[in-house]
Amino acid sequence: MNANTLEGRHALVTGGSRGIGFAVARRLLEMGARLTLLGRDEAALREARDRLGSPERVGCAAADIGRRAQVDDAFARARLWGGGVDILVNNAGQAVSERFDRISEDAWNRMIAVNLSGTFHCMQAALPGMLEAGWGRIVNVASTAGLIGYPYVSAYCAAKHGVIGLTRAVALEHARRGVTVNAVCPGYTETDIVQDAVDNITRKTGMTPEQARAKLAERNPQGRLVLPDEVADAVAWLCLPGSAALNGQAIPVDGGEVTGH
Closest CA to 15 of 35, 40, 32: 40
**Residue 257's pLDDT is what?**
93
Summarize pLDDT for 127-184 with one digit per residue, the tens.
999 999 999 999 999 999 999 999 999 999 999 999 999 999 999 999 999 999 999 9
pLDDT for position 43: 95
**From edge to edge, which strands make up the β-sheet containing 250-253?**
58-62, 34-39, 10-14, 87-90, 136-141, 179-186, 250-253
* E strand spans, the chain: 10-14, 34-39, 58-62, 87-90, 136-141, 179-186, 250-253
Active-site positions read 156
Q: What is the pLDDT of residues 92-130, one digit of tens each?
A: 998 888 899 999 999 999 999 999 999 999 999 999 999
Single-letter amino acid, residue 185: C
Whether 227 has a pLDDT exceeding 90, the answer reads: yes
Q: For position 233, what pLDDT does the model report? A: 97
Q: What pLDDT sits at residue 2?
A: 67
